[in-house]
Each structure stands twice: as C-alpha cells, then as structure tokens.
Structure 1
Amino acid sequence: MLETTRDRELALITGRWGAPSDLRSAALTWFTEAGLSEDKVMDANIHPLLQHAAEVTHGQEHADAVPDVDREQLDEYRPPTQIADRRLEGTDVEPHDGASIMVRVINNRIDPKRVLTLNSEQRATLDRAIEILETTIPDLSRDALSYLQMFALTDRPNMVGETWMEYPGLVLFGPAAFETPKVLAESLFHEALHSKTVWLERGMKTLLEEATSGEQDEDDKPIQVPWRREEDGSVSQWSTVRTFDAFYVYAHLTVSAAAVWEAERLDKDLDQWRRICFRAAYLSNQLRNNPKCADIGSERHQVVGWLDDIRAQPFDLSPAGQEQLTRAA
C-alpha cells in the first residue's frame, strides 16, 4: 500500500510501465526498425527531428515534412547534462548543429513569432524551477526530464507550455511559464511527461494490432473537458487518445503537486493539488467508463489501471465535482 508521496513517486518509476529500462527496452524494436541505434534508445538520446523521421519511416503522416538537414549533425547531438543548458538560444546563427537546426525549424513553423533568448530574470526563474523539482520529486523528475532533449522560450503570449507530439523531446514555452518558479517547474515536468508518453506508446506491442486500421476518426472528440474553454466559450472536447495522454500526465502531477504542497503547506499549493487530483480522477473515469474510450487499446487500459493504483485521490469535492466524477458520457 502506498502511504506517502515518496512511495507514490518511486512507484511511478517502477515496473513495466514505469522503470526507465523496461520502458525503453519495450520501445527498442520500434526505434531500431527506423534505423536508430540501441545505445541511443536506451539512453533516451534521440534528437526530436530524428524522432520525427522515425515516425515517417513507420508510415505516420505529418503536416510538416522532415527538414532537409545533415542527419550526421543530428546523430552527433548530445543534450547537455544540466537541464538549464538544454535551452535553445534565439540568436540568429547559421544552423550548424542539432540545437541551431531545431531553432530554424521552430522559427519557420511559428513565423512571425520567434524563439527568444532567456534574460537574466528568466534564467533565475529556470534555475529555481529545476531546484524545486530536484528537491520535491528528485527521482521522478530526473526520469521525466531525461526525455527532454531541448526547450525554447517563444514570444507567443497566450501559451504556457506546449509539446509538438511529432517532435518528442522538444518543449516550447511562452513568457507566461516564467511567471513564478513553481509555474515553470510544473510546466517543465508536465511537458516532459508528454514526451515520455510517446516512448511508452511506442513500446505497446499490441497497440497497432488492436487499432482499427486507420478507421478511427481523429476529428471525433467525444470527451468533454470541463476546465478548458474554446475561444467561443464552449467546453473543450478531446479525442480518446488525447484524453489518455492527458491522464498519464495528470496522474503524475497528483504526486508532484502533493510534494510541492508538503514542502511549504501553502494554501495556494493545496488549491492546485486539489484541482489536479480532480482532473486526474475525471479523466480516469472517462477512460474507464465512457464507451467511446473502449477502443484505446488494452495496453493503454493497463496503464490506466496502474496509474489509478498510484495517483493521489481527489479530496474536498463539491457536489458538482462529485457528480462529474460519476458521469462518463
């Protein structure tokens, strides 16, 4: 039985779905079939553009073509040991290595917005955010951040953090992410987990076999997300796969948010933990009980069960919140 936050932290990096060696070994065949070496896979050291190229090799279609770059430069890229040093710089330099090539790709895609260079205040916020992760969830954050190859600050004002799923290992932030060290710490952890989810799913051997041969409508978004709103004010709708990916992240966040609250016992941190626990429970209920989620794959359902046994449970629910956790359609 998991009695403490530390117990939950360690449980999330244990076993078939959590241990780094198990997760990467399961994904090994997928990567080697795309021409990537075993060493790079087991070290989780694969440039985001090589990840993208591997998906194309496996027949996954994307709006963005694989950039015409020297693959040797990407193969030679090694993420710096220190997380803070994995930031991309917004200076105009001639692309000559794996980092600057990625800056060019990002700038082309978000034009007229650009990658920015962190100022001294933002650097201090980044250093403090990393310190928060290292002191509150040292093992869990170390594991999650091992899938973060590089990150960039952009001048997109309405964005906190974003992961382009075709480029696992790359995270983009907006200035809002640097509002406080705690906001940035959560966003770093959150986005790194999205990249880890990609690795997890690439190791699900029966996932493609159980898929409906491409018949699943990617525009079908049956899951209401009550805490998100569209520009017109309507409740956001997610696909079943996006719901799984989000649940994977939120289940982990229930543990990190608990650790942050336990460190200082501040009311605002308790409120954030409460919100996260509700969201994880809501998404779990949808994945377990909404008929639309039945076809996400048996291995994804196994992960849902595994995470449900680990995540922190919701608390202090309002009647409306309790009702939302029992409704699955």
Structure 2
Amino acid sequence: MPARLFKGVITALITPFRDGNVDFAAFEGLVERQIAAGVHGLVPVGTTGESATLTLEERQRVVEACVRVAAGRVRVIAGCGSPSTAQALEMTRHAKTVGADGALVVTPYYNRPSQSGLEAHFRAIADAVELPLVLYNVPGRTGVDLANETVAALAAHPNVVGIKDATGDLGRVSWMRARVEGDFDLISGDDPSFPGYVAQGGHGVISVTSNVAPEAMVALYEAVMACDREAAGVWQERLIALHKALFLDASPAPAKYALSRLGQCAEETRLPITPCATAVRPAIDAAMAEAGLL
C-alpha cells in the first residue's frame, strides 16, 4: 500500500433526510461543497452518517453516490462497520466493488468482544477483501476499547493501513509511532484535540466539524502541518466552541441543525436520534458566529 494513503481533513459526512428518506440531492451537494472547500477525503455512512439506522441498501446507495460524485477528486473511505462480522464484510466487499478507496470499520458495538475477538473480526475482513482498511476505535460509543497492542498486531496485515482514534488520548499516537512498523496512517477522530494529535506525528482527522466549517478545518490542519503555532492557535480558538457545540445534543443532530442554518440540508434525523433540542440551538448559533459562519 502507498505511504500516507489517508491524511489531512477527512469529513465524516452526515446523511441528509427528507420526509423519512435519504435526500440524495442534498447529499451530492454536500459532497461538492466539501471538495470545493479543499478537504482531503470523505467518509460516507460512518457514525456521523447515522449508519446504525440506515438499511443495508441505503448504506450501499450512499457510498455509491459519494464515490460517483467525488469522481477521484478526493479519497472516499466507506463506513463499513457493523456488530456483525458478516455484514461488515459484505459492506467492505461492496465498497471495493463500487470503487471506494478504503473501508472504515468500527469495533463491533453492543456485543463487546474480547481483544482476541476484535483481532479476529478485523482479520476476517482484511483477509477476505483486498481494500485498504482503517480501524476505528471509539469506546465511548461501542463499549469496547481496541487496545494498542491489538492495533500493533493488526497493523502487520498488508490490508490494514491505519486507525481512526476517537479516544481523545493523545498519548496513543506516540505509542503507535514508537511500536508500529512501516507505513500506518494515524488519524484522529476527535476534533478538539486533533491539532495536538497531528503535532505529535498524526496524519489527519476524520472530522464532524468539517461538515459545517470545512475551509476553517483545512486552514487549521495546514497551519499545524506548517508548524505555524500562531496561525494554528488562531484557527483553533475560532473553532473550539463549534467543536464542542456540535456535541451538545446527540450527534449528528447539532451538525444537521447547523447545516440547515447554512441552507445545505434539512435538519431531519432518524429515530432514535431526534432533531436538535431547542435549548442548545442558541449555543450552536453563537459558536457558528464565532467561527465566522453566521
């Protein structure tokens, strides 16, 4: 696999809905908006894309739309996670078939497998499909933590090319750099701490905030990569309230509300996620204004 296959600002895309169905016209507009803003990659039907409440057919159609609209201009990492290894494998096969550049596979949620079970889950997928696979560790959502040692063992597999680390533990990136041999893409999954993650040797971020403020997130990443502490500080201070505001209610409801304020899609969600609570909307508006969006 080529070095640094995935890096930079990679947007964890929301899935817009209208009248209970996926709004593909709005989704395609969001993809174009992200590419025009200079992001480096896109993740359709990840956690932020409400993958857990999409049907398998909807997930596949959204991935297909993303690949088609992106048309090779940025890398597309299809969200392929599932608590079922068989379904995750089916999604990964589909992602390869339709031309995605990689698969993002979250640790199986709800059933809380052991470390040996996690390793076997990812190996089964990596063995079966020759597509770059990015591990996704988000214990706050899945109830299980992918241990550093398990990541290091999986990194030896030629199809396992990186990790999205959404733990917020900045010590992990240094551990990985010291112990994982060869090219392995270290991607933050935590917007507020990603500048520190990249400063310690990480390669980018899979971002919720970049749905709403893609240009600013790209500028922040570029400042960090250029070791321009002053510029990075300015951009991070401009965005920090937005990073936090987008999680004041169950994600992605706040992001969808923010995008509706920008006229990019409806704020509709799918149960059990409900539309953004009225009580937190003023804080989101204020954060958007602070970021220069309103």
* TM-score between both structures, scaled by the size of structure 2: 0.32
Higher helix share: 1
Q: Which has the higher strand share?
A: 2
